[in-house]
Amino acid sequence: MARVDAAAADLRAYLEQPRWYQQHAEAAGEAGVPASIAYFSAEFGITAVLPQYSGGLGILAGDHLKASSDLGVPVVGVGLFYKTGYFKQSLTREGWQQETYPVLDPDGLPLALLREEDGTPAEVTVDLPGGRRLVAHVWRAQVGRVPLLLLDSDVEANDDAIRGVTDRLYGGSGEHRLQQEMLLGIGGVRALRLWSRLSGAPQPDVYHCNEGHAGFLGLERISEPRHRAGHDLRGGARGRPRRHRLHHPHPGARRHRPLRHRPDPERLRGRQRAARRAGRAGAAAGRRGLPRRRGRRL
């Protein structure tokens, strides 16, 4: 029992006593350091018990949270809870790789569901294309001193297609991946607002985007001042910087999405020049009493 009590006291000291960041904040003054830092990533490699990662990017994100905990940095992790994780692999007798996707039960994992004061599960909603709405629950994993918020679309309020948005890491079609990124970026910012309301934690002063998977967080943060009366868009977005870090600088390691409805600039300028010429010719013809030529439609 003495050893158990000593371990409990050591853990309590680790979680509660000031560490490097608190000493640095005291020396720099409260206004000199962020009160909270949001860390967005598509995967987190915390432990094999919580298989929400595929490789280096997730291990790096997990190490960032662990190091932040050791240093006392007030980081809040934001990610997705994948029902089947990435996958488990094995080798056949012939040496071929086989993948399996075991379903994870969040109630059997080191996770706690965020709940409202009345005990009901807290929800985050995100509007999707086509007038659909995604409802997500938020699970919390505690990485030392650092909370990790994981959004889960497997909610009864959603239809089968939307419930499967967070089915697995890096799976599905391009549209499926886009929905995951919308939930991570837009829903992640809303989950942070929910977490601050329920826990009393300060709003993040810095938003760190680990790769571009959470790029929609920028759009959500820009849109927020529009819903707050008396705030200018530019003034409301200023003062809370966003940091974007690339895991790999090679273009082949990053995901690019073409803008399908964006017109080619040169083609558009050519059409505009042709329209202006047609307009001038029509005006001249009108002055001479001739029937006008109709310009090309853009």
In tens, the pLDDT along 241-293 reads 555 555 555 455 555 555 554 555 566 566 667 766 766 665 555 555 544 44
Lowest mean pLDDT among 34-43, 126-135, 208-217: 208-217
Residue 32 lies in a domain: yes
> In the chain, which ranges are E strands?
37-40, 75-80, 88-91, 97-100, 112-113, 123-128, 132-143, 146-152, 206-210, 242-245
pLDDT, position 155? 96
Q: Are residues 120 and 168 in the same domain?
A: yes
Q: Are residues 21 and 124 in the same domain?
A: yes
Q: Are residues 109 and 195 in the same domain?
A: yes
What percent of the chain shows pLDDT beyond 90?
50
Q: Does the pLDDT at position 21 exceed 80?
A: yes
Residue 4 lies in a domain: no
Over range 150-163, report the average pLDDT. Answer: 95
Q: Are residues 271 and 185 in the same domain?
A: no
Q: Are residues 209 and 290 in the same domain?
A: no
Q: Does the pLDDT at position 232 exceed 80?
A: no
pLDDT, position 235? 46
Say how many domains are in the chain: 2
Q: Does the pLDDT at position 294 exceed 90?
A: no
pLDDT, position 290? 47
Query: 108: which DSSP letter?
Result: G
Q: Are residues 188 and 100 in the same domain?
A: yes
Q: Are residues 115 and 96 in the same domain?
A: yes
Q: Does the pLDDT at position 237 exceed 60?
A: no
Residue-range definition of the domain harbouring residue 111: 10-257
The torsion region of residue 291 among left (phi > 0), alpha (psi -120 to 50) and beta comes to beta
CA dihedral 145, 151, 154, 159 (to 10 degrees): 160
Q: Are residues 33 and 79 in the same domain?
A: yes
Over range 32-40, report the average pLDDT. Answer: 92
Over range 24-34, report the average pLDDT. Answer: 81
Q: Are residues 139 and 42 in the same domain?
A: yes
- pLDDT tens per residue across span 98-126: 888 889 999 999 999 999 999 999 999 99
